[in-house]
Amino acid sequence: MKPDEFLETLYLGDRGCKAVLLDGWNDEVKIQIDLISRKRSETWDFYSAEDVEDGFLVFEGVDYVSFDPPGYVPNDQIGDRQFLGYDGDRFTLMIELGHCDSTGKYTNVKTTIRAKSVAIERPGEESARIRD
């Protein structure tokens, strides 16, 4: 499944970003999300058979990542996603990851990632990534 098609099967509404892991040795960015749901039809409709609790959205073959504004560690809700297109064998995605500080001030962090592929990873199951 192409990355844009795969990403369209994910429901991340009202979900939270728990961690962002940058793995330079393996060219990966992992976003840990409190609950990843799959959307197997036009609407989500509360389908939960394929839910992955505390799972990772894994971007593989990453050669670029940026956070705008810089300096904030994402720790709150996941906002808009925008598939920005393909460039050769890579695609670019912008995903808004929220940051909330101890005073309640909220900031949207536009996270842009350029990668070769994307998958879902269950905690502790690194060798069995979900790709379809």
pLDDT for 93:
98
107, containing H or E segment: strand 106-115
pLDDT for 58:
98
Task: Please tell me the pTM assigned to this model.
Answer: 0.94
pLDDT at residue 126 above 90? no
SS3 86: strand
Among the residue ranges 10-14, 43-47, 96-100, 125-129, the one predicted with the least confidence is: 43-47
Exposed/middle/buried for 103, CB within 10 Å: 0-12, 13-18, 19+? exposed
Q: Which pLDDT band holds residue 71 (cuts at 50, 70, 90)?
A: very high
pLDDT for 119:
98
Give the end-to-end CA distance of the chain in Å, rounded to a whole number: 6
